[in-house]
Amino acid sequence: MKTIIEPFRIKSVEPIRMTTRERREAVLREAGFNLFLIRADDVIIDLLTDSGTGAMSSEQWAGILRGDESYAGASSFYRFQERLQEVTGFEHILPTHQGRASERILFELVGGAGKVIPNNAHFDTTRANIEHSGAVAVDLPIAEAADPAFLHPFKGNLDVAALERLIAEVGRDRIPLVMVTVTNNSGGGQPVSLGNLRAVRAICDRHRLPLFLDACRFAENAYFIKLREPGQSGRSVREIVREMFGLADGATISAKKDGLVNIGGLLLLRDMQLLYRASNLLILTEGFITYGGLAGRDLEAMAQGFEEVLHEDYLAYRLRSVEYVGEGLMKAGIPIVQPPGGHAIYIDAAALCPHIPREQFPGQAVVCGLYRIGGVRAVEIGSAMFGNRSPPGLELVRLAIPRRVYTQSHMDYVVEVCAALAAKRAELRGLRMVQEPPVLRHFTARFEEL
Amino acid sequence: MRRRSWAEPYKIKVVEHLRMTTRAERERAIAEAGYNTFLLKSEDVYIDLLTDSGTSAMSDRQWAGMMMGDEAYAGSANFYHLESAVREFYGYKHLIPTHQGRGAEHILSKSCIKPGDYVPGNMYFTTTRVHQELAGGQFVDVIIDEAHDPASEHPFKGNVDLEKLSALIERVGSSRIPYLALHATVNMAGGQPISMDNAREVAVLCRKHGIRIFMDATRAVENCYFIREREPGYAGRALAEILRELCSYTDGCTMSGKKDCLVNIGGFLAVNDDELAEAARNMVVIYEGLHTYGGLAGRDMEAMAIGIRESVSYDHMHARIGQVQYLGDQIAHEGVPIVRPIGGHGIFLDALEFLPHLPREQFPAQALAAALYVDSGVRAMERGAVSAGRDPLTGDNRYPRLELVRLTIPRRVYTQAHMDVTAESVIDLHRQRDSIVGMKFTHEPKSLRFFQARFAPIEGDAVMRH
């Protein structure tokens, strides 16, 4: 059957406030043309991020009510720990308030001046944390990732030859770990194959380097493996997930994506020495090891969320509903990163607006256009977010789809807004950054239209 | 009928089951936990007085707020509700939410302290001091001497000693003092308040020298209740009004919302200075989350905004502190040594007085907390030499003058009957105090050791000699 219906029905709703074009125009100006700075109330369809914006299930809300808020040794922690041990195969599970805290702790321990940390493509907070520690973040995507229109089933793969070259060039001692982001967010939500992970593991073994996953969207990646990788279609997602984590020595996870929660993160480690140091840092900056800066109820919601995300009917719906948006945009003649990713559709802003040069932030211009026309909030992933280091030099606009929140008619509306924008693309104007914060500038920068 | 003056201004809406345990089960559990109450599983605990942090019961309105969470990554409506509650009740200009109090301490210490700086304060707090030390600063205790004497009945034992503060300024110069850390109330001194008069004088002195004051406002509303009860000129005044005045003497605050604000998770940094706010916002995005959520779910900001409004209710605070007094009065009445006067959030047993036969190297407070758990399943916390850790320069154990066991009362969770059970157990134990056995380390972590340390009895394997 062509239509994939949602494997759930709606239990609780949140009203959406409609806005007028005039209102949006005023809001946009007030926020310095940065959609991070506008009130959520002024947004009709919020595709800023899929992080922490999902709808929880009734089972998760039951967990919220069951939360044991004891400061130490809460029963919610033990339930959470057991579920995550079962899903990942890791014995030691540290909870953190969210993914960037896991990254901060990890890179405070292994980063520092002179260190080099390779990845298929670092995401914004990962890169910021690595650079904040004094280390250098290096992106090593496969060459195919640079061409948005190129069809490759695993465009998130890490370029293993480039990794070998990097190790030869800087020496293994300067590389504390190799990281792989699944799925690859900055490169279009593209998956990494099991074959590629195994190849990276083999290189790591040869050079005695630890392999870490940035595993925010591990389940979406595993389902792509099941769908696309030869020999994997007969395996369960659960098995594939166990193998992915089995190849790694550690992982940082923002549970706000595939953990299906609004807040929470994890740090997984095998090395006992590193675990001990990470625990001390966790206590100092996050919270005691049995709550990690979260309420007990959030641990309950995670325990349930990490189970639900492995249900294959959910994953089929998830990937298909994202693909549906991609198909709509392509039909409207809008250039997107091919094939559609797991959690978002990425519009190729450079191709859409060839009249706006990179230094005038074509992606940001498209983001502002979408908001003006239809109150849709998207995010620029290009030169505004990454400066000159934007991973393979792409100017993208991400439409990130929150999990289990929007319906097909919401998505039809989004496609219409995008089509209306594309029809008037020649009218889009570039921007100039008038206020630039020193770190993670895209969150709070202000722009002016040219 | 005798009027119970602190009767709760609420009724119970949702309950959470407790598991009863036998003494044999508790003996096994505490041995497995290395005689450290932090390492007990909560399901083995009957009455959990480990901390009042994040352990409170939320109101039905707060739970309704939980359902109103706006989980948008940027510009969540809940952020603006929280911002307006903080402005209205605390009066600071800029709000930067953090996942909990230590997130705010981390950012404040990193933004303000340079290596070689001195940070004066009215007694240290465990995590706060570590953040100050990691940023290169050195904590200097400027609390009045009475704070270190558990028997002193001083009404405002949390006060800053202005002479000690002046002496420090004279010795190191105001340029080496980035700010004064003002705790209201002072946790490590037994939940003791500062007076408004003292806050005002400290502000005059600090402003003269260009030194900023940041308040640890975690239990500031409880502090304001004591001001209302004890300080001339404040009787009958609204707590909200007193709070605004107290905050007006400071330049900002760090907040663990898990105490006064009646939530299970959440905190914030609030400051008046535009530049500091800008620096803090740039930092919060790396460590915590975007500045409109700071690592919190939208629903948690909403619950905190509502909790702030509930916290300044006189009826609420009267019942809260009344319950603590009720427990303390029963215990003190039977001659058990406790820190006087009774503080805002807990009863602090004076372990040195309680167990004079144990030398300090045997950690009498740790031994007493373990014995209390075995006796009745009540979980308390050591606040003495184990918590104080080692001196970073000499590596020696720090032996603070106070060696305490803290019975911390969560807000709106336990009933009078629970308090009665606790009092009975403490009193019983006091009668058998000579049989309580000292403790020694079997595992000692380097930083914040009290959380994960493991111990064993000095002799045998029981917390009490039979």
Give the pLDDT score at B398: 93
On whether residue A3 sits in a domain, the answer given is no
Give the pLDDT score at A1: 58
pTM reported for the whole predicted model? 0.90
Q: How far is Cα A375 from Cα A42, in angstroms, rounded to an integer?
A: 8
* Nearest one of B361, B405, B354, B400 to B383, comparing CA atoms: B405
The residue annotated as part of the active site, out of B46, B125, B226, B249, is: B125
Contacts of B298 in chain A (CB under 8 A): 262
Q: pLDDT digits over A108-117, tens only? A: 999 999 999 9
* Nearest one of A292, A396, A400, A409 to A353, comparing CA atoms: A396
Per CATH, domain B23-52+314-457 is 3.90.1150.10: yes
- The shortest C-alpha distance from A132 to chain B (Å) reads 9
Number of domains in chain A: 2
Q: pLDDT digits over A388-401, tens only? A: 564 557 899 999 99
Same domain? For A304 and A333 the reply is: no
Q: How many beta-carbon contacts under 8 Å exist across A and B?
A: 173
Q: Which residue has the higher pLDDT, A4 or B380?
A: B380
Same domain? For A364 and A426 the reply is: yes
- Asked if A342 contacts A221 with a C-beta cutoff of 8 angstroms, the reply is yes
Nearest Cβ partner of B100 from A35, A72, A293? A293
Give the pLDDT score at A388: 57
Q: pLDDT digits over B57-105, tens only? A: 999 999 999 999 999 999 999 999 999 999 999 999 999 999 999 999 9
On whether residue A13 sits in a domain, the answer given is no
Is position B259 annotated as part of the catalytic site?
yes
Same domain? For A287 and A220 the reply is: yes
Q: pLDDT digits over A193-244, tens only? A: 999 999 999 999 999 999 999 999 999 999 999 999 999 999 999 999 999 9
Residue A180, strand partner residues:
A213
Kindly determine whether residue A443 and residue B285, on different chains, have CB atoms separated by under 8 Å.
yes
Name the domain boundary from A278, A308, A338.
A308
Give the pLDDT band (50/70/90) at residue A135: very high
Residue A43 is part of a domain; what is its CATH number?
3.90.1150.10
Domain-wise residue ranges, chain B: 23-52+314-457, 60-311
Q: Is B274 helix (H, G, I), strand (E, B) or coil?
A: helix
Name the domain boundary from A274, A308, A342.
A308
Q: Can you state the angle between helices A272-285 and B126-134, rounded to 10 degrees? A: 110
Print the domain residue range for A341: 21-50+312-449
- Asked if B74 contacts A35 with a C-beta cutoff of 8 angstroms, the reply is yes
On whether residue A426 sits in a domain, the answer given is yes
Tell me the CA distances in angstroms from A198 to A203, B7, B297, B431, one per residue in order.
9, 65, 36, 66
Same domain? For A78 and A135 the reply is: yes
Q: How far is Cα A41 from Cα A37, in angstroms, rounded to an integer?
A: 12
The nearest alpha carbon in chain A to B105 belongs to A285
Same domain? For A36 and A109 the reply is: no
Contacts of A48 in chain B (CB under 8 A): 72-74
On whether residue A1 sits in a domain, the answer given is no
Name the domain boundary from A254, A274, A308.
A308
The nearest alpha carbon in chain A to B48 belongs to A70
Instruction: Give A 106-135 residues with CB within 8 A of chain B.
Output: 125, 128-129, 132
Same domain? For A389 and A429 the reply is: yes
Contacts of A107 in chain B (CB under 8 A): none
The residue annotated as part of the active site, out of B90, B118, B450, B455, is: B450
The residue annotated as part of the active site, out of B80, B93, B102, B126, is: B126
Q: Does A255 touch chain B (CB under 8 A)?
A: no
Rounded mean pLDDT, B262-289:
95
Kindly determine whether residue B265 and residue A78, on different chains, have CB atoms separated by under 8 Å.
no
Query: What amino acid occupies position B253?
Result: C
* Nearest one of A335, A319, A121, A122 to A228, comparing CA atoms: A319
Residue A234 is part of a domain; what is its CATH number?
3.40.640.10
The nearest alpha carbon in chain B to A124 belongs to B286
The residue annotated as part of the active site, out of B129, B212, B219, B383, is: B383
Nearest Cβ partner of A293 from B66, B99, B451? B99
* Nearest one of B301, B262, B40, B59 to A77, comparing CA atoms: B40
Q: pLDDT digits over A314-324, tens only? A: 999 999 999 99
Rounded mean pLDDT, B169-192:
95
End-to-end, the C-alpha distance of chain B in Å comes to 43
Same domain? For A287 and A302 the reply is: yes
Same domain? For A319 and A406 the reply is: yes
Rounded mean pLDDT, B276-281:
95
Give the pLDDT score at B1: 38
Same domain? For A102 and A183 the reply is: yes
* Nearest one of B177, B226, B241 to B344, comparing CA atoms: B226
Give the pLDDT band (50/70/90) at residue A442: confident
Q: What is the CA radius of gyration of chain B?
A: 22
Nearest Cβ partner of A40 from B53, B76, B99? B76
Q: pLDDT digits over A295-338, tens only? A: 999 999 999 999 999 999 999 999 999 999 999 999 999 999 99
Give the pLDDT score at B346: 96
Residue B2, pLDDT above cutoff 50: no
Kindly determine whether residue A296 and residue B300, on different chains, have CB atoms separated by under 8 Å.
no
CATH class of B60-311: alpha beta
Is position B450 annotated as part of the catalytic site?
yes
Same domain? For A227 and A202 the reply is: yes
On whether residue A16 sits in a domain, the answer given is no
